[in-house]
Amino acid sequence: MPYIGPAPAKELVLDADGDTIITSDADDQINVKVGGAEDFRISANTLSVLSGTTLNIDSGATIANSGTATGFAGVDTSGTPADNQLAIFTDADTVEGDSNLTYDGTDLILAGGNINVDSGKGIDFSATADSNAGMTSELFGDYEEGVYNPTLVGSTSGSFSLLGTDDTLAYTKIGRMVYIQGYLFPNVDNSCLGAMRISLPTTPATLPDLSDYSVTWCYVQNHGGSFTNPSLIILPALAYAQMQDVSDAGVKANMDGDDVDDSWQMILNFNYISS
């Protein structure tokens, strides 16, 4: 039946100051205003938390969602990851599982890609026990492999040219250790004077108490000289290996361009600590 009587009130005052009220500013709508500002608006099947209002969830409270949460401008998590997949941002506001990155509770597995490490960074083994008190670093920070074309020069002046098909050495750098091997064919003497020096791909390190010195035997053939123990000596902070010979009596002498023919060969296999 129709309503008969005075018009119903559209405002319910909740405090003496009159600044916390419930009103109906439009049909089928309830407005909640606290401190003079509207915080909440209720209409059919909708509770709106208005701009400037914070919805706090106390510790121990639970928000249960048996339906679908929509309309959020934050992160889209609709891309459900499979078991053990790690979630990543695929764009500025979307999180999805990545099949190439998984964690089973024990092992982190990266498939189909590489781990890229910034310069100066690496794998830190500081959690492991130290072998001795002289340890200075437990950071594995580099790996490199390839080939390079060394030069063969005299410490005074001049050089040897290398045959184009036999002028390359292979190297591998693991951490600070550099390993070198290969075959060289010096075939033209360009007035090479002084100790013969072979360039290195990196500069050897400077270490305490002469621990930075390194020497290795090298195989020299068809040289036209009379060598007892041809060798290479690596000195700190000098980016070359210098050729020397040590007699049976232990006398050391530098090998220079006069000790070999214009054309000769050598085979190398040695390592050193890089800076």
pLDDT of residue 201: 97
Is residue 232 within 8 Å of residue 242, measured between CB atoms? yes
The pLDDT, as a whole number, for residue 3 is 47
* Side-chain half-sphere CA neighbours of 262 within 13 A: 4
pLDDT at 4: 55
Q: What is the DSSP letter of 259?
A: G
Helices (H), 169-264: none
pLDDT tier at 147, thresholds 50, 70, 90: very high
What is d(CA 250, CA 191) in angstroms, rounded to the nearest whole number? Answer: 29
List of long-range contacts for 39-48, beta carbons under 8 Å, 24+ apart: none
* 5-14 mean pLDDT: 63
Residue type, 194: G
Of the chain, the percentage scoring pLDDT greater than 70 comes to 93
| Residue 98: burial class (beta carbons within 10 Å; 0-12, 13-18, 19+) | middle
Give how far Cα 238 sits from Cα of 25, 101, 206, 235, Å. Answer: 86, 44, 9, 6
The DSSP 8-state label assigned to residue 155 in this structure reads S
pLDDT at 231: 93
* pLDDT 10s digits, 37-74: 888 899 988 888 888 888 888 888 887 776 666 665 66
**In this structure, which amino acid lies at residue 14?**
L
Which residue pairs, CB below 8 angstroms and at least 24 apart, start in 23-30?
none
Does residue 219 carry a pLDDT above 60? yes
What is the bridge-based pairing of β-strands 139-140 and 152-154?
unpaired
Q: pTM for the full model?
A: 0.69
Contact 178, 222 (CB under 8 A): no
pLDDT at 236: 94
Polymer length in residues for the chain: 275
DSSP state at residue 274: B
d(CA 3, CA 8) in angstroms, rounded, equals 10
| pLDDT given at position 1 | 46
The model's pLDDT over 185-212, given as tens digits with 9 standing for 90+, comes to 999 999 999 999 999 999 999 999 999 9
